[in-house]
Amino acid sequence: MEYFLTDEQKTMKSLARKIAEERVLPVRAELDEKEEFPWAIIKDLADADMFRVFVPEEYGGLGGGCLELCLVVEELSRACGGVAATYAVNALGSHTLIEYGNEEQKRKYLPDIAAGKKLTAFAISEATAGSDASAIKMTADRVEGGYRLNGTKQFITNGGEAELYTVIALTDRTKGARGASAILVEKGTPGFTFGKKEKKMGIRASATRELVFRDCLVPEENLIGRPGMGFIQAMRLFDCSRPGIGAQAVGIAQGALEAAVDYAQQRVQFGQPIITLPVVQDMLAEMAIQVEAARALVYAAARMVDSGARKITEESAMAKVFASDVAMKVTTDAVQVCGGAGYMKDYPVEKMMRDAKITQIYEGANQVLRSAIAVELRKRKARTE
C-alpha cells in the first residue's frame, strides 16, 4: 500500500528496518529467553539518531511526530516487540516534558534524551490504579524546597534502567484526580528505589519494575506545568501515544505474517508446499488484509495526532484497539500455520504471539478503550438531539 511518506520518513523507516534486521533479529530469541535488557541495541539506536526522532529540533532532535515514531516502532516490532517497547517508552517518558515542560527543564533533559544517553519512563499505574488511573494514591506533599514523594508505582516499563521518570502523584489529595501532578524524578534521588524485575509472558527484553518512593524529596522545579494538571496531561499523553502501541502491534503482526508465509512456502505435506492448500491460502490472505487495514488505521490516527487536533481520543483508541486485536489474531494464526514447529521456541512465531498479548492490555485495556469510544458516540448523539 502506498502511504505517501516523505523521503525523510522513508529514510527513518528503512534505517529502523536495517537496525532491526542486522542488530535485533540475530539476538531476539536470546534476549527473550534470558529476559535481558537490550543495552547493545539501545546503543545502536542512539548512534543511528533514533532517539532524536521524537525530540524537537531545538533540543537536538529531528522534530518528528507521532507518525515518525510509529514508523520506527513498527519496524523494530517486526523483529522484536520487547526491543520496540523499550525504545517507544522513551517517547512516552519524554512527552509530558516536551508538551508542558518549561524552557529550563527542556534544556536540562532533552539533549541527553535525544542523544540516547538517558532513557526515560512514565509512571502512573499503581496496584489499585490500572485502567482506573484516576484512583492513584501516590502522594507528593508540598514541603519547603520541593515535593516529598511517597507511594509505589507498578509495572513501569524501563523501570530501573531509565535515568529520568515522569511520575504522576497527588499534590493535593483532597481533590482526587484533579489534585494529580506530573513530576520529574531522576534515578539516584534519595528515597527512590526499585522493586523486583517482573517476569513477563512477552516483551521479555523490556524491563518492568516497581518504583518505590519513601520520603523522596524532589526540587520544586521538577514539577511539569501547573499543579493539578497531571491527570489531564497523562490522558492527553495516552491519546497521542496509543497509535504507537498500534504500530507496535502492526509490526509484530507483520513479522508473524512473513514468518508464516516463509514456513508455508517451504513446508511440504501431501506432496506439495502447504501454501498451495486453499485453507492455508485463505488464512494467509486474511492475515495480510488485517495487517494492512491495521497499518492504514494506525498511520491515519498518527497523522491526526500530528495535525495538532485536540479531540483525538476516539481515533487513537480505535487504532490501538484494532491493531492490537489484529496482532493477537494474526500471531495466533501464524502459530497455527506453522503447526507443531510454530509451537516450538526454535521458530519465532510463538514469541510473537506472547509479545502481541500485551498490546491488548497496556495503555488502556481494549475493553476500557471500547467503552471510551462508546462514550464519544453517545456524546455525539446527545449533541445532535
Partner 1 sequence: MKIVVCLKQVPGTTQVKIDPETNTLIRQGIENIINPFDTYAVEEGVRLRERFGGGVTVISMGPPQAEAALREAISLGADEGILLSDPAFAGADTWATSYTLSAALRKLGQYGLVICGRQTLDGDTGQVGPQLAEMMALPFIAYVSRIEEIADGGMRVRRMVEDGYEVMESPLPAVITVVKEINTPRLPSLRGIARSKSVTIPVWGAKEINVEPDKVGLSGSFTRVIRIFSPQRVCQGEIFQGDVENQVDCLLGRLKADGLV
Q: Which residues bind partner 1 (CB under 8 A)?
A: 8, 11-12, 15, 18-19, 22-23, 44, 47-50, 52-53, 62
When the beta carbons of 90 and 105 are compared against partner 1, the nearer one is 90
Decide whether 5 or 341 has the Cβ nearer to partner 1.
5
The single residue of 58, 363, 376, 385 carrying the catalytic annotation is 363
Residue 115 has a CB neighbour count (10 Å cut-off) of 16
Smallest gap from residue 187 Cβ to partner 1 (A) = 26
User: Which class for 240: exposed (0-12), middle (13-18), buried (19 or more C-beta within 10 A)?
Assistant: buried
Q: Which is closer to partner 1, CB of 64 or CB of 225? A: 64
Query: Which residue bears the cell 537496525?
Result: 19
Indicate the residue among 53 and 240 with the shorter CB distance to partner 1: 53
In the complex, what is the shortest distance from the CB of residue 166 to partner 1, in angstroms, rounded to a whole number? 25
Q: How far is the CB of 106 from partner 1 (least distance, A)?
A: 20
Supply the DSSP string of 181-237, one letter for each residue.
EEEEEETT-TTEEEEEEPP-SS-TTS-EEEEEEEEEEEEGGGEESSTT-HHHHHHHH
Q: Where does residue 190 rank: exposed (0-12), middle (13-18), buried (19+ CB within 10 A)?
A: exposed
- Of residues 33 and 57, the one with the C-beta less far from partner 1: 57
The residues, ordered by sequence, that sit 6+ positions from 125 with a Cβ below 8 Å of its Cβ are 133, 153, 154, 155, 156
Angle between helices 66-79 and 7-19 (to 10 degrees): 30
| Residue closer to partner 1, measured from CB, 16 or 167 | 16
Closest CA to 255 of 287, 277, 278: 287
Local structure of residue 129 (DSSP, 8 states): B
Catalytic site residue 363? yes
| Number of separate helices (H) and strands (E) present in the chain | 11, 10
CB of 48 to partner 1, least distance (A): 5
Q: Which is nearer to partner 1, 15 or 235 (CB)?
A: 15
Query: Shortest Cβ distance from residue 71 to partner 1 (Å)?
Result: 12
Q: Output b/e per residue, 17-45; b: 16+ Cβ within 10 A.
A: bebbeebbbebbeebbeebebbeebbebb
DSSP 347: S
Residues whose CB is less than 8 angstroms from the CB of residue 3 and which lie 6 or more positions away in sequence, other chains included = 295, 296, 299
Element (H or E) spanning 180, and its range?
strand 180-186
Task: Provide, rounded to whole angstroms, the least separation between the CB of residue 30 and partner 1.
Answer: 18
Smallest Cα–Cα separation from 61: which of 69, 51, 48? Answer: 51
C-alpha cell at 3: 502511504
**Least distance from C-beta 91 to partner 1, angstroms?**
15
Give the torsion sign (CA, 207, 338, 299, 20).
Answer: positive
Catalytic residues: 363
